[in-house]
Amino acid sequence: MQPFVSACGDESPWIRRFTTNSDTQHSMSDGEEQLDRLQQAELTRTTCMSHWRAGAVQAWMEVVMGMPMYIRACSENVKSGKVLLSLTDEDLELGLGIGNQIHRRKVRLAIEDYRRAEGEQGLSKASELDHHWVSTSWLSDVGLPQYSQTFQTNLVDGRVLNSLSRRDLERFLNICDHFHQTSLLLAIQLLQMLSFDKEALQLRRLKCEHENRDPLVWTCHRVMKWIKDIDLKEFAENLQGKGIHGAVMALDQSFDTEALANALGIPSNKHMLHRHLYEEMKSLSAPLSNTEQGSEVISSSSPVAVNRFADERSSIRRLGKSPLRLRAESHSVERGLGFHGNCGSLPREARVHAVPRAKGSPMHTFKSVEITNV
């Protein structure tokens, strides 16, 4: 059976998964039923939720949301999109049997996204980040692939990512390591700064794949490549599973030469290696040369060469809040980007002074139904 292709000519990722994972030995009736389900699912991309009939609702739950375990209860209880729009958190738990709180949050956030889309705003970019991408590609880029199964089990997609707090990570995803929590929250903050535009993120990463620039968007793998490039390749593999990526290096004010050296496993008595790492981090954060394009020049108050950060920061300020949900003692995006001091054995005059930290944003919690700007 040929996979269903939308009118715009692009085959949806969830359609590829649905057809790829299906048993190839279907009867004709099975194939027709599958094609109808895919067509109904594609219809949900172009039709307001309030206009959906029962078949579209079921296709949305199974194919688009990737939640086939709830399809039976959905088919028995939800006969239209209007009913879907009116469901409460209690309805989802008792009527559809969705006991997992993250699963319920995923459905509620999706419904609210569709509700806003009916106001001609369109679905958010976060809606394009399905839980398969989050649990595999995104966690690998963050450098924490050990949590892949947890994210997969909880069906964490882009919308859910945008709602997570430090408390959520510990309570629902069983991520207790404080630094791992910070690493994930900063990776989410990077997505928020780019409005969850996966293509824009990938484009920026491609531009700096072979140049030591724009470290904010570096993946864990790109950081490891840089470590090898600065002749510390014997330590590079130690970053596996540590959650060290570009957003941590640029946005976490407590992350300095000593922190990176510890993550790499460089012994504290290797003073010359520490000095070498310090000098390389300083070079990485040096302002771009005058020959670079004007749009690439970064203010001297921000030592890391991060493209377009000023615009991104202004955009965040216009929202009236910091998107990173950390405890009050954690780090806010409102401070300047940069690598920070505390270089261990380095002489006082060689140390970099940290940029003053802005007041951190309080932790947000998710009570019943929480809708955030996606």
Token pair, residue 43, equals 């219809």
Average pLDDT across the chain, whole number: 76
Contact 187, 138 (CB under 8 A): yes
C-alpha 240: how far from chain center:
19
Q: Identify the weakest region by mean pLDDT among 135-139, 147-151, 212-216.
A: 212-216
C-alpha 296: how far from chain center:
25
Distance in angstroms (rounded) separating the CA atoms of residues 363 and 94: 29
Distance in angstroms (rounded) separating the CA atoms of residues 323 and 333: 8
Q: Identify the weakest region by mean pLDDT among 100-109, 291-300, 343-352.
A: 291-300
> What's the pLDDT score for residue 40?
84
Instruction: State the pLDDT confidence band at 4, using cuts at 50, 70 and 90.
Output: very low
> What's the pLDDT score for residue 285?
76
Instruction: State the pLDDT confidence band at 39, using cuts at 50, 70 and 90.
Output: confident
Distance in angstroms (rounded) separating the CA atoms of residues 264 and 301: 28
- Residue 136: pLDDT above 60? yes
> What's the pLDDT score for residue 367?
41
Q: Identify the weakest region by mean pLDDT among 30-34, 56-60, 242-246, 342-346.
A: 342-346
Distance in angstroms (rounded) separating the CA atoms of residues 356 and 83: 51
Distance in angstroms (rounded) separating the CA atoms of residues 341 and 335: 15
Residue range 153-167: mean pLDDT, rounded: 97
Residue range 5-15: mean pLDDT, rounded: 40
> What's the pLDDT score for residue 236?
97
Q: Where in the chain is the domain with CATH 1.10.150.50?
A: 30-123, 127-285
pLDDT tens digit sequence for 72-124: 999 999 999 999 999 999 999 999 999 999 999 999 999 999 999 887 678 99
Instruction: State the pLDDT confidence band at 46, using cuts at 50, 70 and 90.
Output: confident
- Percent of the chain topping pLDDT 70: 67
- The CATH code of the domain at 30-123 is 1.10.150.50
Token pair, residue 68, equals 């086939």
pLDDT tens digit sequence for 196-211: 999 999 999 999 999 9
Instruction: State the pLDDT confidence band at 371, using cuts at 50, 70 and 90.
Output: very low
pTM over 0.75? The answer is no
pLDDT tens digit sequence for 205-231: 999 999 999 999 999 999 999 999 999
Instruction: State the pLDDT confidence band at 33, using cuts at 50, 70 and 90.
Output: low
> What's the pLDDT score for residue 43?
83
Q: Identify the weakest region by mean pLDDT among 87-91, 180-184, 230-234, 319-323.
A: 319-323
DSSP, collapsed to helix, strand or coil, labels residue 32 as: helix
Query: Cβ neighbours of residue 94 under 8 Å, at least 6 residues apart?
Result: none
Q: Name the maximum alpha-carbon separation found in the chain.
A: 77
Instruction: State the pLDDT confidence band at 284, using cuts at 50, 70 and 90.
Output: confident
Question: Between residues 331 and 90, which one has the greater pLDDT?
Answer: 90
Q: Identify the weakest region by mean pLDDT among 156-160, 184-188, 251-255, 365-369.
A: 365-369
Instruction: State the pLDDT confidence band at 22, using cuts at 50, 70 and 90.
Output: very low
- Give me the CATH topology for the region 127-285: DNA polymerase; domain 1 (1.10.150)
